[in-house]
Structure 1
Amino acid sequence: MKQLRPALLGTAFSLTVLIGAATAQAAPVQNWVVSISNDWSNTSFTGGPFAVEPTDPFSVGDTLPDGSDPRNLTYDIISWGTPTTDAGRSFLAVDDTVTIGGLTTGSTQGVAGASFYHGNYRQATATAENPAERWLDNTTLDLTITLTPEGQDSAARTFTHSIPIDFMETRNTASVDDCAGAPWGSSTTACPDSLTVLDEAANFSFVFDDVSYVLSFVFDPANSLNVARIDSGEGASTVWTNEGVRSRLATRLLIRAADAGPAPVPEPGSLAIAAAGLAFLGFARLKRRA
Structure 2
Amino acid sequence: MKLKSVVPSVALMASIALSAGAASASLINEWSFTVANAWNPAATTWTSAGVAPSSPFGSGSTLPDGSDPAGDYTYLRWGSPATPGGSKSFLGADTNLTVSGLYTNDAAGVAGSYYYHGNYIQYSPSNTREKWLTGTELVSEISIQSVDPAGRNIGITRSYTISFTETVNEVPLESCPGYPWPPAGPAPGMPTCPDQFTIDVSDLTFTTGVIDGYIYEFTVEFDPSSFENVAGITTNPDGTITIWTNEEVLSRLGTRVTVSARVPEPAPLALLGTGLLAGGLAIRRRKSA
Residue of 221, 226, 247 corresponding to 1:223: 226
1:173 corresponding residue in structure 2? 170
1:7 corresponding residue in structure 2? none
2:52 corresponding residue in structure 1? 53
Q: Is 2:205–2:218's contact at 8 Å kept on the other side of the alignment?
A: no
* 1:241-287 deviation per Cα after TM superposition (whole angstroms, max 9, x unaligned): 11111100100110101459xxxxxxxxxxxxxxxxxxxxxxxxxxx
**SS of 2:44's equivalent?**
strand
Residue of 117, 141, 144 corresponding to 1:147: 144
2:74 corresponding residue in structure 1? 76
**SS of 1:100's equivalent?**
strand
Q: Does 1:31 align with 2:47?
A: no
Select the structure with the greater relative contact order (CA < 8 A; seq sep ≥ 6): 1
Residue of 205, 208, 217 corresponding to 1:206: 208
**Cα pair distance change 1:201/1:110, threshold 3 Å:** closer
- Alignment partners' CA distance in 1, 2:39 and 2:171: 35
Aligned-pair RMSD on alpha carbons?
2.3
Identity, in percent, stands at 36
- Aligned-residue offset at 1:158: 1.6
Gaps of 5+ in 2: 1-20, 265-289
- Alignment partners' CA distance in 2, 1:226 and 1:215: 28
User: Which letter maps to 1:149?
Assistant: S
- After TM superposition, the score normalised by the length of structure 2 is 0.73
Higher helix share: 2
Q: Is 1:106–1:254's contact at 8 Å kept on the other side of the alignment?
A: yes
Higher strand share: 2
- Aligned-residue offset at 1:84: 1.9
Q: Is 1:173–1:179's contact at 8 Å kept on the other side of the alignment?
A: no
- Aligned-residue offset at 1:57: 0.2
**Cα pair distance change 1:154/1:170, threshold 3 Å:** same
- Alignment partners' CA distance in 1, 2:253 and 2:43: 20
- Alignment partners' CA distance in 2, 1:122 and 1:29: 49
Gaps of 5+ in 1: 1-23, 261-290
Residues paired across the two proteins, number: 233
- Aligned-residue offset at 1:117: 0.4
Moved more, 213-222 or 194-203: 194-203
Larger gyration radius, structure 1 or structure 2: 2
- Alignment partners' CA distance in 2, 1:63 and 1:121: 17
